[in-house]
């Protein structure tokens, strides 16, 4: 695997070009949206995902991680800082190009987030995973997200899911 180059961009500083680039990646990973019962990704759905934050958080708390291999965007993550507590961050989505999965890119992006969080004094990193997605669950457990914090129902479109929140202590 070529080690990805990881960039971090404040959500509020994303340009139209950045959004178009991330949208291109989401289209190359569109199987995920189909599998969870979501609409095919569009620029509008990307903007609404970025703005869809829990009470008490704003776009200023959000940072976007992008991983590039040979100059091409291979994966990205949406990360919310300071939620659900001051000393925790949560990964909202981590998505890798479907043709490039299993090459360690997801691991490198998740590690970059954990590294930054630790450097910022954060004590716990969280992620929400749809509990029926066994390969994703296995990925996160291997990344150290071994503590189950809570389970809750989530409806995407007309599909009902259960989301399990996993925690990694830093
Ligand atoms: C989960 C995901 C981010 C992992 O990134 P990745 O670059 O494929 O992961 P790595 O190469 O570092 O690790 C591979 C592991 O990821 C997991 N994985 C999940 N879905 C996978 C897929 N479609 N292809 C390959 N690996 C996958 C597996 O646990 C795999 O290990 P295995 O080969 O022993 O089964 C990526 O597969 C992806 O984008 N999946 C779809 C979106 C998703 O489910 N995101 C997580 C919830 S937000």
Among residues 67, 32, 26, which one has the least CA distance to residue 44?
26
**Residue 1, pLDDT score:** 66
Among residues 67, 149, 51, which one has the least CA distance to residue 108?
67
For 141-168, write each residue's pLDDT tens digit: 999 999 998 999 999 989 999 999 999 9
Residue 16 makes CB contacts below 8 A (sequence gap 6+) with none
For 21-66, write each residue's pLDDT tens digit: 999 999 999 999 999 999 999 999 999 999 999 999 999 999 999 9
- Other C-beta atoms within 10 Å of 145: how many? 25
Mutate to test the pocket of ligand 1, among 94, 102, 114, 166 (most ligand atoms within 8 A of CB): 102
> 101 C-alpha to center of ligand 1: Å?
6
What is the residue with the minimal CA distance to atom 12 of ligand 1? 104
**Residue 4, pLDDT score:** 85
Q: Which atom of ligand 1 is nearest to the CA of 138?
A: 29
Residue 115 makes CB contacts below 8 A (sequence gap 6+) with none
What is the residue with the minimal CA distance to atom 35 of ligand 1? 135
Which amino acids bring their CB within 6 angstroms of ligand 1? Answer: 29, 32, 93-96, 101-107, 129, 133, 135-136, 138-139
Question: Side by side, which strands form the sheet with 124-130?
Answer: 5-10, 62-69, 72-81, 88-96, 124-130, 159-169, 147-156
Q: What pTM was estimated for this model as a whole?
A: 0.96
Q: Hunting for tokens 């949208």 — which residue is that?
A: 23
CA–CA separation, 128 and 1 (whole Å): 27
Q: Which domains does the chain have, with CATH numbers?
A: 5-122 (3.40.630.30)
């Amino acid at each position: 695997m070529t080690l990805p180059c990881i960039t971090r961009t404040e959500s509020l500083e994303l340009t139209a070009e950045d959004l178009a680039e991330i949208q291109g990646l989401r289209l190359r990973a569109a199987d995920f949206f189909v599998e969870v019962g979501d609409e095919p990704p569009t620029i509008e759905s990307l903007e609404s995902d970025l703005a869809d934050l829990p009470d008490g958080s704003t776009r200023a708390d959000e940072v976007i991680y992008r991983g590039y291999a040979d100059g091409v965007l291979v994966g990205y993550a949406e990360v919310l800082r300071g939620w659900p507590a001051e000393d925790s961050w949560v990964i909202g989505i981590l998505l890798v190009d479907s043709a490039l999965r299993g090459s360690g890119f997801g691991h490198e992006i998740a590690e970059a987030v954990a590294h930054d969080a630790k450097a910022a004094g954060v004590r716990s990193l969280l992620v929400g995973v749809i509990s029926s997605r066994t390969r994703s669950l296995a990925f996160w457990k291997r990344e150290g997200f071994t503590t189950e914090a809570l389970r809750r129902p989530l409806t995407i479109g007309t599909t009902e899911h259960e989301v399990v929140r996993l925690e990694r202590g830093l």
